[in-house]
Structure 1
């Protein structure tokens, strides 16, 4: 009996250790998620509802800390928190089924408690002493929370609720505390939909800010829905949305409204926050599902100052911001015979191309998650798990042979996998294309490091796609630093 008691105590102690380890792993996974507060002029355009439906499908992988109903140039004198609540109500209907497919989805009651509102007035008229709102208070509380992670604020409409939070912090906190809180902020606004964006960028010159200011025609975010001659535009068509999202996919899909002005113009604000192995939100210049952005002060002439803004003035930028970057993309296409995949002949260059290269993957992932709301786990598709057979940061010398391998990648549903290794030249410092050995679709490829006179970085992307329906892709990025031959 005494031996059994010792065994029991040991088992209990071991169980406690296992539980503690599991809890620590869960906490660590949580800390890897990005924190996000959304400011939305929902009801100004159906695309806010579209983007909110998509966002909630990723609420297990993004810590959604606030949903704030705001105004914009397109909806100047009212906010519509009731419309946010309506979408959450639809989410509640599918929560039990959705949460079978992945852990971490918040309950509808949790999301409901995070809905607030800003001032029902336009722009800077809603910023100043005595203009605090539940929305601006929520931003301040999130910034001051005991959480080391940055706080992302995505403005789908006017950002004056964020401007009010910063106004209050500047008036009530010490300069040191203000600087510390501003350093935690990461802002992405869909163009400038009120006049507070330019004020924030000038008043807080250290504020991390992603925006394509000026006319909407000069904005990266438009790439999510723009029809392009020579590209396959099927997955952004009304027919595709009806078949794969809206009809026959339960109440959450049925709640997705028809396109009125443009499909999901707000969605790029959070796509790079999804942990799909591709993007690093702290490096917008590396690129990802939400596009690629570079840090510079754009010229006024590049902002399409005479283009459509709804009436928001277009002014000279006063400092560097994260804004449009230029990529050249050759579409990757399946082949009917022989080598399974290859590149199309035609290439596309521009700031929208930074988003075009991922568009089909983005849409297929959305369709799969809508399926999660109505299907059992065994009846739906889930993304592959991508592994590297080496580190994701490599340092080599000119002339070295470098092997890249996806050995060990797998799929939770047992699907067959396709592989695609490619260089992302715009993301690195080395300016030239590097030839990789072998066919484009091999799981393992390699290259000889080119001659360099000074250290250079090269970004290689591994895209792994399953053969489920819809086909889903996940990624890994390998950054290779090339040193001169014989260097240290």
Structure 2
């Protein structure tokens, strides 16, 4: 305890109690339980800037520094290591290690400055001290994960691997070492396998293949690196990272990011192209400097100043964000995190789907994540605006949309289903609704006619060739008319009988 108090005083967060301010009560679904493990390279920093603005909606139980094949500290004794296929060609004592203080010394200090404003927009935001207490500075990260997997909380624990899975693997290994010879082992192994869900932004070390997959095959693991096409560097063939659907590319431009994200004491920490920033300890972080970024040996050609650089680890937490249709217990369903499919049942490994159908019925590559860009980016911008906006009425807050028919309805082939929804907005904004079929979520293989009306409802014509047992997924989305239009959703499954 004395260490913790000293630490809080040292970084200036202990005196963060906020005097009485007007806040607004918000009804929320039960929060999902999650841990972030990160190697804190620059795209991790950018992802964490976004992630912390959603900690009001998630139960963050740990933020843990970890290593990967790209970032490691060495053993502290000067021992040299060489592994083939890496970015170096001579032995190293450490590689691109950015340390274990960036989050505390930079991000949480800036968060403390904007926390009073965030709290006015949603009192569910954790205090700076609460976030600091989730750091692993006074305990080993793997021990924290182990204790959370073994505690009495029955909720799933979503383990985000932004770097390698080594820390998660070490936690699982310590459980195996402690209990594998015990009569309790079958029960504990089953408990942990059901509770742990690993959301990995790629396998950045060998611990999944070498240990987790063969030893813990029933743990669901989602390998989500396909989402890099939307949120990663995308430096293939040196062409830079222009991305997104044509109508949504504006959200990745320097003009939009500079005006809407890199603002105030918190937003200015966000990373973009040629922003003058760099991560201490990482010689490969040349993205902020025009001279270094333009070098003939640079692996990624620079774009314009403040253009989108990378938030590769968004892929690990976007499936958890509260939108109205998120269901991380079922990766087959779509959300801002995209939709996944099961690659193998043992080990229980999932990967993101390659294509989905656009509104015109054509298959579009990376559409499972690209379809949400406008909604995701406007939501990020609205929350960043909260950090500099002390008055609730001057911020925009998301609407809610609820289908009144329930989560499922039954219908016969050739029949018509009438759907209705209830829409509200905390700011009194006008909300426009639209309805659409999510082709891949249902089992009926064809297109279905969905016709919206002026009362936030719709009619769905069930095709005559639909067969009993097939399902049709219909989504309603409501978008307000705020400065940053915010969108929420609901879903109904029509079961053909």
Q: TM-score range by the shorter chain?
A: 0.7 to 0.9
Other-structure match for 2:231: 224
Counterpart CA distance in 1 for 2:60 and 2:194 is 20
User: What does residue 244 of structure 1 align with?
Assistant: 260
Partner of 2:101: 82
Q: Distance in 1 between matches of 2:147 and 2:347?
A: 28
Residue 457 of structure 2 corresponds to 444
Which of residues 170, 194, 197 is equivalent to 2:208?
197
Residue in structure 2 matched with residue 153 of structure 1 by the alignment: 159
1:96 counterpart residue number: 116
Displacement, 1:271? Answer: 1.1
Q: Provide the C-alpha distance between the structure 1 equivalents of 2:167 and 2:121, rounded to a whole number of angstroms.
A: 35
Residue matched to 2:485: 471
Distance 1:425 1:320 in 2: 25
SS in 2 for 1:116: coil
Per the TM alignment, residue 353 of structure 1 is displaced from its structure 2 partner at its CA by 1.3
Whole-Å Cα distance in 2 between the matches of residues 444 and 290 of structure 1? Answer: 26
Shift of 1:165: 0.5
Residue aligning to 1:128: none
Q: Deviations over 1:325-377 (max 9, x none)?
A: 143343xxxxxxxxxxxx6x795512x21000001100000000011111110
Give the alignment's TM-score, normalised by structure 2. 0.76
Structure 2 equivalent of residue 36 of structure 1: 34
Q: Does residue 212 of structure 2 align to residue 233 of structure 1? A: no
Match of 1:387 in 2: 402
Which stretches of structure 1, 4 residues or longer, exceed 6 Å deviation after superposition? none
Q: Partners of 1:326 and 1:464 in 2: how far apart?
A: 27
Of 366, 387, 395, the residue aligned with 1:373 is 387
Task: Report the Cα offset of residue 74 of structure 1.
Answer: 1.4
1:335 is aligned to: none
CA distance in 2, matches of 1:329, 1:142: 39
Aligned to 1:461: 475
Q: Secondary structure at the match of 2:450?
A: coil
Larger helix proportion of the pair: 1
Alignment match, 1:51: 47
Of the three residues 306, 310, 323, the one matched with 2:351 is 323
Measured in 2, the distance between the counterparts of 1:370 and 1:399 equals: 48
Deviation digits for residues 276-320 of structure 1 (CA, Å, limit 9, x no counterpart): 1022111111111011100123xxxxxxxxxxxxxxxxxxx9745
**Is 2:155 aligned against 1:141?**
no
The answer to whether the aligner puts 1:276 opposite 2:291 as a matched pair is no
CA contact (8 A) 2:227 2:369 kept: yes
Q: Distance in 2 between matches of 1:348 and 1:434?
A: 16
The aligned counterpart of 1:63 is: 59
Check if 1:108 corresponds to 2:123: no
- 2:171 corresponds, among 165, 168, 191, to 165
SS in 2 for 1:475: strand
Which one is further off, 152-161 or 226-235?
Answer: 226-235
Q: Distance in 1 between matches of 2:361 and 2:177?
A: 55
Alpha-carbon distance change, 230 to 381 in structure 1, aligned in 2, over 3 angstroms: closer
Quick one: structure 1 residues 387 and 319, their matched pair in 2 at CA, closer, same or farther if it must change by over 3 Å? Answer: closer
- Specify every segment of 5 or more residues in structure 1 that has no aligned partner in the other structure, as ranges: 1-24, 119-132, 298-316, 331-342, 484-488
Q: Which residue of 1 aligns with 2:337?
A: 290
Asked if 2 retains the 8 angstrom alpha-carbon contact of 1:430 and 1:456, the reply is yes
* Superposition deviation, residue 75 in structure 1: 0.8
Which runs of 5 or more residues in structure 2 are unaligned?
1-24, 74-96, 180-184, 233-240, 274-286, 288-299, 301-308
Aligned-residue RMSD, C-alpha: 2.4
User: In the alignment, is the contact (CA less than 8 A) between 1:392 and 1:479 conserved in 2?
Assistant: yes
Q: TM-score, normalised by structure 1?
A: 0.77
Query: Matched residues in 2 for 1:220 and 1:52: separation?
Result: 17
In structure 2, which of residues 184, 194, 210 is the aligned counterpart of residue 183 of structure 1? 194
